[in-house]
Amino acid sequence: MTDRVESFSTDTWTAGVIGLGYVGLPLLVTAVRSGLQAIGFDVSSERVADLSAGRSHVDDVSNEALATAIEAGARFSSDPAILAEADAIFICVPSPLGRNRQPDLSYIEAAADTVARFARSGQLISLESTTYPGTTEDFLVPAVAAAGLTLDDDVWVAFSPERVSPGDEMKTADIPKVVGGVTTRSGDVAEAAYRRLVPSIHRVSSARAAEMSKLLENTYRAVNIGLINEIAQLCHELGIDVWEVVDAAATKPFGFQAFYPGPGVGGHCIPLDPQYLAWRARETNFTTRFIDIAEQVNSRMPVYSADRIAEILNGQGLAVRGTQVLGVGIAYKPDIADDRESASIHVLDVLKERGAHVAVLDPVVGATRIEALGYEPVGPDDDLSRFSIAAVLTDHSDLDYKRLADQVPAVFDARGVYRRLGITAENVEAL
Ligand SMILES: NC(=O)c1ccc[n+]([C@@H]2O[C@H](COP(=O)([O-])OP(=O)(O)OC[C@H]3O[C@@H](n4cnc5c(N)ncnc54)[C@H](O)[C@@H]3O)[C@@H](O)[C@H]2O)c1
C-alpha cells in the first residue's frame, strides 16, 4: 500500500461522513471547501432526501452553502454501501444519555457495526462523537478486525473531537482540531488527513487523550457554570448584584475567566458530556465530585428560577396559579433555533405544573415549534400587556427588551441582558 500519510497529504481523496447532523454536515461542507470529494451516509432517509434536495437543517450550513457543496460533487445516501467510496470515514453520530443518565452508546455501536460491514482496505476511520476515553479502542478497533482488516496495515483508527458551538462565529475550520490515533501510526495518518480539512491541528499521543480532552473542555464549562450559579444564589441572599460582581472580577487581566449564571444549562453537550466522564470514573470506583456538585447545582437552577419568579409575583400579591406568564426565549442559547435540553423549557414546565398560564415569545425558534412544545406562541409585535410577568430565559439579540419592560409589569431577567444592553427599568429583576 502507498504511504497513506503522503497520499492523504497530497492526493484528492474522498471524505465519507456517517451521521449528517449538526457536526457531520458542517464537516462534510468543510471537506468540499478544502477541495476534497465528499459523501455522506445517514440512517434517516428523510434527512438524506432533504439534503440531496438542497435543504439544510443545520443553522450553520445555509442552503446556499449546501447547494455549492452539491455542485462540487457532494452526495448523500441512506445506503451504507456508499462508504466504500470513502478514503476517510468520519463518524458523527449522536452520543446522548440513556434513561438513567448513563451513556447511550447505541449510535456509536451501530456506526461501528457499519464500519465492520463496509470498511475496506486503505481507509482512515475517525470517530468525532463526544464520548468517554477508550470508546474508539473499545468499538472501532474490534470493528475493523471484524471487517477482516489489519490495524495500521490496511486501516487506521483515530479520534478527533468536534468542538463547534452552534451559532458561534467560529466554525469547524476555524477551531484547532485535536487528533489522537489508537496507535502512533494511526495518529500520523489521521493528522495528515485532518491537515487537509483545518489549518490547525493539535496532535495528542492517543485516541484516549483526545477523547478525554473534549470531556475536560465541557466539564470545565459545566463546573464553572455550576460555581457561578451557586454564587448567584448567594449574591441574591446577600442583596448583591452577581452580574456587577462578575463584570468587576473580569477586569482582572489574568487568572479569571467570566462565566455567567443562568436558568440552567441546556444543549446537547454541557449537561451531557460530563456524565460520560462520571460514568467512566464510576467503573473504576472513582468519584467525580466536581462533576456531581456542578450537576446538582445546575440541574436545580430551573426550579430556583421558577421560585424567584413566584417570589416576584408574590410581591405583587399574585399567585403562580392562574397567572399569565410570558417565557422569552425557549432555545437553549441565543440566536439559534435549537431547544434541545433547553433550561427555559424546564423553568416553564415548573411554572405550568404550578398552575401558571404560560406563553412563549421566541422569534428564532418560531411559532410552529413553540406550539409543538405545548406552549402558546406570542409574536414580537403582539400586545404583551396581558402578562403579569415576563421571564427572559434566553437572550436572543433581535428582541426589543425595552418594549418588553414597558409592556409587562414585571420582568425576571435570567440572562443579565438588561444590564448588558444598558437598559434600566425599575420593574426588571435579574437572577
Ligand atoms: N451539536 C454540536 O454542536 C456538537 C458539538 C460538538 C460535539 N458534538 C457531538 O457530535 C456528535 C453528533 O452530534 P450532532 O449534534 O451532530 O447530532 P445530530 O443529532 O444533529 O446528528 C446525528 C445524525 O446522525 C444520524 N445517525 C444516527 N445514527 C446513525 C448511524 N448509525 N449511522 C448513520 N447515521 C446515523 C442521525 O440520523 C442524525 O442525522 C455527538 O456525539 C455530539 O455530542 C456535537
Shortest-distance Cα residue to atom 15 of ligand 1: 22
Q: How far is the CA of 184 from the centre of ligand 1 (A)?
A: 27
Identify the DSSP state of 260: -
Please tell me whether residues 181 and 230 are part of one structural domain. Answer: no
Active site residue 235: no
CA 81, CA 41: separation in Å to the nearest integer? 9
- 206: nearest Cα among 189, 186, 182: 182
CA 424, CA 401: separation in Å to the nearest integer? 10
In a domain, 211, yes or no: no
Q: CA separation (Å) from 16 to 26, 33, 75, 245?
A: 13, 14, 10, 48
Give Cβ neighbours of residue 268 (< 8 Å, ≥ 6 apart).
94, 96, 340, 341
Please tell me whether residues 11 and 98 are part of one structural domain. Answer: yes
Please state the pTM of the whole predicted model: 0.94
Please tell me whether residues 15 and 93 are part of one structural domain. Answer: yes
Range of the domain at 273: 221-430
Check residue 345 and give its pLDDT. Answer: 97
Question: For a substitution probing ligand 1, which of 18, 20, 22 has the most ligand atoms within 8 Å of its CB?
Answer: 22
Question: For a substitution probing ligand 1, which of 78, 92, 177, 336 has the most ligand atoms within 8 Å of its CB?
Answer: 92
In a domain, 136, yes or no: yes
Give Cβ neighbours of residue 122 (< 8 Å, ≥ 6 apart).
1, 4, 87, 154, 155
Please tell me whether residues 269 and 194 are part of one structural domain. Answer: no
431 residues of the chain, pLDDT tens digit each: 559 999 999 999 999 999 999 999 999 999 999 999 999 999 999 999 999 999 999 888 999 999 999 999 999 999 999 999 999 999 999 999 998 889 999 999 999 999 999 999 999 999 999 999 999 999 999 999 999 999 999 999 999 999 988 777 788 888 999 999 999 999 999 999 999 999 999 999 999 999 999 999 999 999 999 999 999 999 999 999 999 999 999 999 999 999 999 999 998 899 999 999 999 999 999 999 999 999 999 999 999 999 999 999 999 999 999 999 999 999 999 999 999 999 999 999 999 999 999 999 999 999 999 999 999 999 999 999 999 999 999 999 999 999 999 999 999 999 999 999 999 999 999 99
**Domain ends where: 173, 205, 237?**
205
Q: How far is the CA of 172 from the centre of ligand 1 (A)?
A: 15
CA 54, CA 48: separation in Å to the nearest integer? 10
CA 380, CA 378: separation in Å to the nearest integer? 7
Q: How far is the CA of 44 from the centre of ligand 1 (A)?
A: 12
CA 297, CA 310: separation in Å to the nearest integer? 19
Please tell me whether residues 47 and 168 are part of one structural domain. Answer: yes
**Domain ends where: 158, 176, 205?**
205
Check 222, 269, 297, 384 and give the catalytic one: 269
CA angle 256, 262, 263 (to 5 degrees): 155
Q: How far is the CA of 58 from the centre of ligand 1 (A)?
A: 11
Check residue 203 and give its pLDDT. Answer: 98
Check residue 50 and give its pLDDT. Answer: 97
Domain CATH for 243 = 3.40.50.720
Contact (CB, 8 A) for 9 and 88: no
Give Cβ neighbours of residue 288 (< 8 Å, ≥ 6 apart).
274, 277, 278, 281
Nearest-atom index, ligand 1, CA of 130: 41
Largest Cα separation within the chain, whole Å, is 79
Please tell me whether residues 8 and 83 are part of one structural domain. Answer: yes
In a domain, 212, yes or no: no
Contact (CB, 8 A) for 298 and 264: yes
Shortest-distance Cα residue to atom 33 of ligand 1: 42
Please tell me whether residues 110 and 225 are part of one structural domain. Answer: no
The number of beta carbons lying within 10 Å of the beta carbon of residue 373 is 18
Check residue 268 and give its pLDDT. Answer: 86
**Domain ends where: 205, 237, 267?**
205
Contacts 24+ apart (CB under 8 A), 205-209: 205/180, 206/180, 206/181, 206/182, 207/127, 207/136, 207/137, 207/157, 207/158, 207/159, 207/180, 207/181, 207/182, 208/133, 208/134, 208/136, 208/137, 208/159, 208/180, 209/133, 209/180
Identify the DSSP state of 343: H
Nearest-atom index, ligand 1, CA of 23: 16
Q: How far is the CA of 107 from the centre of ligand 1 (A)?
A: 9
Q: CA separation (Å) from 126 to 135, 179, 193, 300?
A: 12, 9, 10, 37
Q: Which residues line ligand 1 (CB under 6 A)?
A: 18-24, 41-44, 47, 92-95, 107, 110-111, 114, 129-130, 162, 164, 166, 268-269
In a domain, 214, yes or no: no
In a domain, 26, yes or no: yes
Question: For a substitution probing ligand 1, which of 268, 275, 332, 333 has the most ligand atoms within 8 Å of its CB?
Answer: 268
* 156-159 and 177-181 strand pairing: antiparallel
In a domain, 413, yes or no: yes
Identify the DSSP state of 137: I
Please tell me whether residues 162 and 22 are part of one structural domain. Answer: yes
Please tell me whether residues 126 and 238 are part of one structural domain. Answer: no
In a domain, 215, yes or no: no
CA 77, CA 47: separation in Å to the nearest integer? 9
Please tell me whether residues 267 and 350 are part of one structural domain. Answer: yes
Contact (CB, 8 A) for 205 and 220: no
Q: How far is the CA of 94 from the centre of ligand 1 (A)?
A: 4
Q: Which stretches does DSSP call E strand in 232-319?
A: none
Nearest-atom index, ligand 1, CA of 273: 43
Shortest-distance Cα residue to atom 1 of ligand 1: 22
In a domain, 422, yes or no: yes
Please tell me whether residues 178 and 251 are part of one structural domain. Answer: no
- What is the gyration radius of the CA atoms in the chain, in angstroms? 24
CA angle 329, 331, 335 (to 5 degrees): 85
Overall number of domains in the chain: 2
Please tell me whether residues 175 and 264 are part of one structural domain. Answer: no
